[in-house]
C-alpha cells in the first residue's frame, strides 16, 4: 500500500464513529446527559440515548436487540443504588445485568461493548467522561461482530 493510501485508511479508521446505545433512566442518567450538555463537557457524538422511566425497565431483550440491529456498544445506566425512584428497580437491574454480562461474554463479545454505570442527574461530567472513554475503547475494537451486513 502506498504511503498515501495508508494515510487515508488511517484517517478512515479514525473517522469511524461507533454507534453506542445508552439506556438512560429518566430520573438520573438521562438528567446526567442533560447536565453534560449544559455544562458544555466535550463528548463525541457516538451515543444514541434511549430514555426509560427506570433502569429496571431495561429488558435484556432490549440490549440484544440493540446489538443485533447494529450497536457497537450498549450502556445500561441508572440511579445510584439506594436512589431508585421506584424503591428497588436498580437492584433488579443489577441482577439482570449479571446474567446479561455472562451471556454476552460467553457469546464471545468483548466486555467493553456492554457496560453498567450508575450516574445521577447532577453528574454531567461523569456522563461525558463515560461516553468519551467507551467511545475510545470501541474505536480500538472496531465494529461489533453482531452488526448486520450493510449497516454502518
Partner 1 sequence: MQKGEMYVGWSTKEEVRKRGGSGGLVTSMLAAALEKKLVDAVVVLKKINEFEAVPIITSDVNEVLNSAGSLHSVPSHFAKLIANRNLKVALPAKGCDVRGIIEQGKRNAINLDNTFIVGLNCGGSMHPVVTREMLEVMYKIKPEDVHGEEIEKGKLIFETKDGKEHAITIDELEEKGFGRRESCRYCTIKVPNNSDIACGNWGVTGDLVGKATFVEINSEKGAKLLQNAIDAGYVQVQKPDDKGIAMRGKIKGVMEELGKKWKGKIFVPIETGRLEYFRKELEHCIDCGACKTVCPTCSCGDISKCTQYHSRGDAYKMSMYHLVRFLHLADACIGCGQCSDVCPVDIPLTRLYRRFANPVQEQLKYEPGMDMQKPPYFEVKLNE
Q: How far is the CB of 137 from ligand FES (least distance, A)?
A: 24
Say how far apart CA 62 and CA 49 lie, in whole Å.
Answer: 13
Residue 41 contacts which entry, partner 1, ligand FES, none (Cβ below 5-8 A, type-dependent): none
CA 24 → CA 34, 51, 80, 93, distances in Å? 11, 5, 12, 12
Q: Between the CA atoms of 127, 128, 129 and 135, what dihedral angle is there, to the nearest 10 degrees? A: 110
Residue choice 35, 90, 115, 120 for contact with ligand FES (CB under 6 A): 90
For the bound state, the minimum distance from the C-beta of residue 63 to ligand FES, rounded and expressed in Å, comes to 15
State the Cα–Cα distance between residues 91 and 93, nearest whole angstrom.
5
From residue 4 to residue 43, the character string flagging contacts with partner 1 as x (rule: CB under 8 A) and all else as - is ----------------------------------------
Q: Which three cell numbers stand for residue 114?
A: 456492554
Q: Where are the beta strands (DSSP E) in the chain?
A: 20-25, 47-52, 73-78, 114-118
Q: Can you tell me which of 49, 50, 103, 141 binds partner 1, judged by CB under 8 A?
A: 103
Decide: is 61 part of the binding site for partner 1 (CB under 8 A).
Answer: yes
Binding site for ligand FES (CB under 6 A): 25, 27-28, 54-56, 78-79, 84-86, 89-90
Amino acid at each position: 500500500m502506498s504511503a498515501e493510501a495508508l494515510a487515508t485508511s488511517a484517517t478512515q479508521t479514525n473517522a469511524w464513529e461507533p454507534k453506542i446505545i445508552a439506556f438512560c433512566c429518566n430520573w438520573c442518567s438521562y438528567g446526567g446527559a442533560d447536565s453534560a450538555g449544559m455544562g458544555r463537557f466535550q463528548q463525541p457524538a457516538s451515543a444514541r440515548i434511549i430514555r426509560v422511566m427506570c433502569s429496571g425497565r431495561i429488558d435484556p431483550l432490549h440490549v440484544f436487540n440493540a446489538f443485533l440491529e447494529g450497536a457497537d456498544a450498549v450502556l445500561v445506566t441508572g440511579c445510584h443504588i439506594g436512589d431508585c425512584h421506584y424503591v428497588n428497580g436498580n437492584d433488579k437491574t443489577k441482577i439482570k445485568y449479571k446474567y446479561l454480562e455472562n451471556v454476552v461474554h460467553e457469546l464471545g463479545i468483548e466486555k467493553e461493548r456492554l457496560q453498567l454505570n450508575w450516574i445521577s442527574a447532577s453528574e454531567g461530567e461523569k456522563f461525558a467522561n463515560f461516553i468519551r472513554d467507551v467511545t475510545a475503547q470501541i474505536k480500538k475494537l472496531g465494529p461489533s461482530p453482531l452488526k448486520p451486513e450493510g449497516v454502518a
